[in-house]
């Protein structure tokens, strides 16, 4: 018979299922919990070695480090920080000595906020962050597939005009300033005013979220980042987008290399010097800090750190790249560059190849590595048929921003633009089934520049010389279709230096020179692929078939295009193949597809003129001791008689 206190146990099972003897539900919950730390799968990467410290000593060091990060200009010691959610009330009478509130003797130099405790929610798991978001953040819901749907507030995209970089003695000479540059200056004092405002706001809260994570899968060159934020949404977003430490790496984490203070719910003071609105995203490279005020759009953190990598990596002779990257089963790596609408995501996602990353990479002496630990995919008009990998990745752990869903069943309507066109999903990279872990690969064999040419005059594929690759890399061209505005009937050319002008820190020719050197040293070939129009401009011609573009990309991967016969085009001087397996040969030379040959030549000259006008921004920059390289790049552009 069962003994007293046991329900339904047989005698021979009692030893395996002892009675749970607790007095309260809180005690029962304490037995449920096991200590853990979120981490990214490593493949065959080796974990870091642990410090020889007790758990209490390690915890104390972490809290002291976080307190130092949150130190104000006027309170150099930082706030008193303790672990855990204040609502849980786990600290009264706990075994953690540092959780007990010591007596404080106020002095005239101490503010009221120095008398309170800031509760730190440190590297929480997705499940814990779901609980925090749903309980405390209005507009947070679980969708029918298990993702966390949330709202980013009034700002549903980046604010590049509100991004500032501190201009000091070092950055004045190192960074790219002036016409065409994304770097808008501010001074050290104004940065500190904004930093003080952000830190005071964060310190005034009952709790803050702290993520300690990595950037760059190359273990020799990874960067330690700390993100301090007020929202569970932001913490989960960065948990997904950065590389998640193993428990051992978290124990050894130490002092971060760069820190983000995300006080986006709180505006900057518009009367602060250099401010033009209540939003400000500020980078201070000397202090290794970033401050966010007045915007809750999570992408500011992702792209802010990408800007930091565009500064730090070239100092180590590592090229930072705004590109997709995949690898064939034979180990051949390809880089994909392209602005929005060119097909970069679609073409770099190939079930016959391994995905290294979708957006941000480094090219070092040993090969390529993904900077991030996740993907940030557009969701507008998402469908299972067109983007199955992204569709299937929107599950538990994924953040979906600003989407609209059914009130009862929580099924997302990805076609609904009620909140914004820029709906997004952020998920860990291991949610993609053919990802390569760790996200590193050998030196690229092919560098593919994608352009959606709505003018319809660029060939579907061109093999580029090194100087041509640099010219088109610096240009970063695509063309948008005619606008909806009355009177605008022609395509609109768009140029973005290095295919990511908003994020680069140095002059574009510096990145181009590094790209040229790495391609030359490793035997990589440059390609220009037009995914846009043929047979006429937008409205007259037709879009090049995706099936043709895929055949072209396959021929690049296989090496078949290296052995093809080529002829040179006029004006742009591009080498175009006469045949590509599976592609109608007529379309390979765009002039063949235009019925009005005079209109073709006029449109070709028009586009060439737009290229030359855009490139004038870069012609006054000298590389090294001479401007020979600049002249070589210039000569690779279109020639207009």
Quick one: tokens of 576? 């175009």
**Rounded to whole angstroms, how far apart are CA atoms 235 and 301?**
11
Quote the CA–CA distance of 129 and 139 in Å, as a whole number.
14
| Catalytic residue selected from 83, 226, 303, 445 | 303
- The DSSP code sequence of 367-397 is -EEES-SEEEEE-TT--TTT-HHHHHH-STT
553 Cβ contact partners less than 8 Å away, ≥ 6 residues apart: 347, 350, 448, 529
Question: Alpha helices of 500-542 — where are they, by DSSP H?
Answer: 508-522
Q: Which of 226, 244, 344, 443 is catalytic?
A: 344
**Spatial contact of 281 and 186, defined as CB atoms under 8 Å apart:** no
Active site residue 75: no
Q: Which of 150, 345, 469, 525 is catalytic?
A: 345
Mark whether 364 is an active-site residue: no
Contacts of 313 (CB under 8 A, 6+ apart): 221, 319, 320, 362
Catalytic site residue from 359, 398, 507, 593: 359
* Whole-angstrom distance, CA of residue 404 vs CA of residue 383: 15
- In terms of DSSP bridges, do strands 289-293 and 185-186 run parallel, antiparallel, or are they unpaired? unpaired
b/e sequence 124-157, b meaning 16+ C-beta within 10 Å = bbbebbbebbeeebeebbebebebbbbbbeebbe
Catalytic residue selected from 19, 340, 585, 595: 340
Alpha carbon 163 to its chain centroid, in Å, reads: 16
Q: Name residues whose C-beta falls within 8 Å of residue 105's C-beta, 6 or more positions apart in sequence.
A: none
Asked whether 604 and 456 are in contact (CB, 8 A), the reply is: no
Active site residue 158: yes
Structure letter (DSSP) for residue 47: P
C-alpha distance across the termini of the chain, in Å: 102
Q: Is 49 a catalytic residue?
A: no
Examine the residue annotation and report whether 542 is marked as an active-site residue of this protein.
Answer: no
The one catalytic residue in 163, 353, 424, 436 is 424
Annotated catalytic, 167? no
The reply to whether 424 belongs to the active site is yes
CB 424 within 8 A of CB 400: yes
CA 410 remoteness from chain centre:
27
Which residue intervals of 168-230 are DSSP H helices?
169-174, 188-204
Would residue 417 show up in a list of annotated catalytic residues for this protein?
no
**Set 83, 197, 231, 322: catalytic member:** 322
Catalytic residue from among 83, 158, 222, 463: 158
Catalytic residues: 158, 303, 322, 340, 344-345, 359, 424
């Amino acid at each position: 018979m069962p003994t007293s206190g046991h329900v339904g146990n047989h005698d021979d099972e009692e030893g395996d299922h002892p009675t749970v003897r607790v007095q309260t539900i809180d005690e029962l919950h304490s037995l449920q919990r096991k200590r853990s730390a979120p981490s990214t799968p490593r493949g065959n990467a080796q974990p870091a070695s642990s410090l020889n410290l007790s758990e209490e000593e390690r915890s104390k060091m972490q809290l002291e480090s976080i307190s130092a990060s949150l130190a104000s200009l006027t309170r150099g010691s930082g706030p008193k920080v303790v672990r855990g959610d204040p609502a849980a009330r786990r600290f009264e009478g706990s075994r953690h000595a540092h959780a007990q509130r010591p007596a404080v003797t106020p002095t005239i130099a101490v503010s009221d906020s120095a008398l309170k405790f800031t509760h730190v929610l440190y590297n929480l798991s997705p499940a814990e962050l779901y609980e925090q978001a749903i309980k405390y953040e209005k507009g947070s819901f679980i969708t029918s597939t298990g993702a966390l749907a949330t709202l980013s507030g009034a700002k549903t995209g980046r604010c590049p005009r509100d991004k500032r970089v501190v201009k000091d003695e070092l950055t004045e000479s190192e960074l790219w300033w002036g016409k065409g540059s994304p770097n808008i200056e501010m001074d050290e004092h104004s940065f500190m005013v904004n930093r003080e405002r952000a830190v005071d706001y964060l310190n005034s809260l009952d709790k803050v979220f702290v993520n300690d994570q990595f950037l760059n899968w190359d273990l020799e060159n990874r960067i330690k980042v700390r993100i301090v934020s007020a929202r569970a949404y932001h913490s989960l977003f960065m948990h997904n987008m950065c590389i998640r430490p193993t428990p051992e790496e978290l124990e050894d984490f130490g002092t971060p290399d760069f820190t983000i203070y995300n006080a986006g719910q709180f505006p900057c003071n518009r009367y602060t010097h250099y401010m033009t609105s209540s939003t400000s995203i500020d980078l201070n490279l000397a202090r290794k800090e970033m401050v966010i005020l007045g915007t809750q759009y999570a992408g500011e953190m992702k792209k802010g750190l990408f800007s930091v990598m565009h500064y730090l990596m070239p100092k180590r002779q590592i090229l930072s790249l705004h590109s997709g990257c995949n690898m064939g089963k034979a180990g051949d790596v390809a880089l994909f560059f392209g602005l929005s609408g060119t097909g970069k995501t679609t073409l770099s996602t190939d079930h016959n190849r391994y995905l290294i990353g979708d957006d941000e990479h480094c090219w070092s002496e040993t090969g390529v590595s993904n900077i991030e630990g996740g993907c940030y995919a557009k969701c507008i008009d998402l469908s299972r048929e067109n983007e199955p990998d992204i569709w299937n990745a929107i599950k538990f752990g994924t953040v979906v921003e600003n989407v609209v869903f059914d009130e009862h069943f929580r099924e997302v309507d990805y076609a609904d633009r009620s909140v914004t066109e820029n709906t997004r999903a952020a998920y860990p990279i291991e949610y993609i089934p053919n990802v390569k872990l760790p996200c590193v690969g050998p030196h690229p064999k092919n560098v593919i520049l994608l352009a959606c040419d709505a003018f319809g005059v660029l060939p579907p594929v061109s093999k580029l010389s090194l100087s041509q690759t640099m010219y088109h890399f610096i240009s970063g061209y695509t063309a948008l279709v005619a606008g909806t505005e009355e009177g605008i009937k022609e395509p609109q050319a768009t140029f973005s230096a290095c295919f990511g002008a908003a994020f680069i820190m140095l002059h574009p020719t510096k990145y181009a020179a590094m790209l040229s050197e790495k391609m030359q040293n490793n035997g990589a070939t440059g390609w220009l692929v037009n995914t846009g129009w043929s047979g006429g401009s937008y409205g007259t011609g037709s879009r090049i078939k995706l099936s043709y573009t895929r055949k072209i990309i396959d021929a690049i991967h296989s090496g078949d295009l290296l052995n093809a016969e080529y002829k040179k085009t006029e004006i742009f001087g591009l080498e175009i193949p006469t045949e590509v397996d599976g592609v109608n040969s007529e379309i390979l030379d765009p002039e063949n597809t235009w019925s009005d040959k005079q209109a073709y030549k006029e449109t070709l000259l028009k586009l060439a003129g737009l290229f030359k006008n855009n490139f004038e921004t870069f012609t006054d920059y000298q590389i090294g001791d001479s401007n020979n390289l600049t002249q070589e790049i210039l000569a690779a552009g279109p020639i207009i008689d």
